[in-house]
Amino acid sequence: MGECAVRGRVVDAETGEPIGRASVHLHGYAVPGDVLAQVAADGSFEFPDVSAGKYTMSVISTAGYQWTPYVGEGVRKDLGNVFTLAVGEALEGVELRAEQAYQVSGRLSDERGQPLGTEDRVLIKAWRKLAEPGFAGSTYSATWRTRWRPRDSTFMIEGLDGTPVILTAAVTSADQTVTIYPPCYYPGTFSRDDATIITFDDERHVLGVDLRLRRTGGVVLAGTVTDEDTGEPVPEAMVLVHRLDMLWDEAIAYSDEAGRYRFECLGPGEFLIHVDASPAGYVRTRETVFLTDGDEGAAVDVTLRRGVRFAGKVVDVDGNPLDAVIWSGTAQIEEPQGGGWYRPANRHCPRSLWTGNEALYGIGDGDYSDAVMLILAESEFLIPSMMPGQIEFRFDRLPTGYRILKVLHDGADLTGLGFFTEPGESYEDITIVVGPKPEPQQ
């Protein structure tokens, strides 16, 4: 149980009336899990017994209203509306003023114009153009608060703020590691330049936005994935591509036995390709490519180099396994630049208890210098492959006041030194000891 609390109410920004059916979300950065509060009929909410630390708070998934962040006193807007609760602090009198939302609804169909009727994962997103670059340099922001009805292939996107949007729809496997239908723009094109812009004018609900999906017919991107040393093809490499200024509109293909991959579903523009064959021991890499509306498309061949494997466990100062619910971390050579985001990893990766099949993505070109610690059991972790070099471990989430105390391997404490690694090496039975920061001696 924590020693802090947050209390407040949710009201309509225009009328000031309480919103009794709202949901308030509290996200902690150094504590386990997120918390959701259902607002009472009088608009009041409470988060009792939360731990000290950094948080964001917002009104979410509330019918008829927009997502509304808490931006009160002490909030760091430059860090994504983060605020800090000190030990024993009670944040009282919070008022979240939610704006009424706009909606878009319509129907999805396949290449033949037939309803999808699928139980796969359907991703429908509304994109608005940003006035200035946002996260990781993106110039579009996506909203995908969508109600999807497979029985009649209809959808409704809620929570929009009334600015013009373009729509995309895609279908993936449940874990998002396989693309079934790639992202397609309304009314049914792979070219963002040809997408129909949806405007609201005086209407809060735009009807009849029907979008037809297809698998091919766009700009072609194809190539081979090979081993840097041997020149041999690398099969089962995941190739994920997305627009450089959108980030969340990815399509995924896998290399075949000859190392070949192919997309026929892109439009003109600047894209970032991420290639992940880490389950086979290769370093993840990425490359920027600019596509034009030509008949031949683009050929991008990728070479991969061998990486380093790490496996071990995380324990407390008494040697007890540290529950994976309260920690997550990475191995790094250098800090990622420009922010990172979690998206699907290669479907052949072991599933992590915490993140599933996910990897940390970032903007740039060349090999990734970091890798996520996949949590395989209560406190055991695995990094199938990462860039060779001087590698250290970092945690982005630990109990408040905790830090790395020791990194033990083969009888040595490598804390502060890191691992000096070469391609193809494997480090097993690593023990990372975490605990409260020791009190300074008098």
Per-residue pLDDT tens digits for 88-130? 999 999 999 999 999 999 999 999 999 987 778 999 999 999 9
CA dihedral 350, 352, 364, 255 (to 10 degrees): 30
Residue 60, both tokens: 């979410």
- Name, in order, each residue with C-beta under 8 angstroms of 12's C-beta and a sequence gap of 6 or more: 18, 19, 65, 97, 98, 100
In single-letter form, the type of residue at position 399 comes to: P
pLDDT > 90 in the chain, percent: 67
Domain 102-212 has CATH 2.60.40: yes
Within 10 angstroms of residue 86's Cβ, the number of other Cβ atoms is 10
CB contact burial 142-159 (16+ within 10 A = b; e otherwise): bbebbebeeeebebbbbb
Q: Reply yes or no on whether the pLDDT at 7 is more than 90.
A: yes
CA gyration radius, the chain: 24
pLDDT of residue 441: 61
Q: How far apart are the first and last CA of the chain?
A: 31
Class of the 219-304 domain? Answer: mainly beta
Q: Reply yes or no on whether the pLDDT at 188 is more than 80.
A: yes
pLDDT of residue 174: 87
pLDDT of residue 175: 86
Q: What is the mean pLDDT of residues 185-213?
A: 95
pTM for the complete prediction?
0.87
Q: Which residues in the chain are classed under CATH 2.60.40.10?
A: 4-98, 219-304, 308-334+369-436
**Confidence class for position 140, pLDDT limits 50, 70, 90:** very high
404 with 432: CB under 8 angstroms? yes
pLDDT tens for each residue of 47-89: 998 888 889 999 987 888 998 999 988 888 766 788 999 989 9
pLDDT tens for each residue of 203-239: 899 999 999 999 999 999 999 999 999 999 999 999 9
pLDDT of residue 32: 55
Class of the 308-334+369-436 domain? Answer: mainly beta
pLDDT of residue 355: 67
Q: Reply yes or no on whether the pLDDT at 438 is more than 60.
A: yes
Selected from 1.25.40.10, 3.90.420.10, 3.50.50.60, 2.60.40.10, the CATH number assigned to the domain covering 4-98 reads: 2.60.40.10
Residue 414, both tokens: 């490598």
Lowest mean pLDDT, pick from 79-88, 126-135, 287-296, 433-442: 433-442
Give the helix/strand (H/E) hosting 294: none
DSSP assignment of 59-124, as one string? EES-TTB--EE---TT-BGGGTSBEEEPTT-EEEEEEEEEPB-EEEEEEEE-TTS-B----SEEEE
Give the helix/strand (H/E) hosting 372: strand 370-372
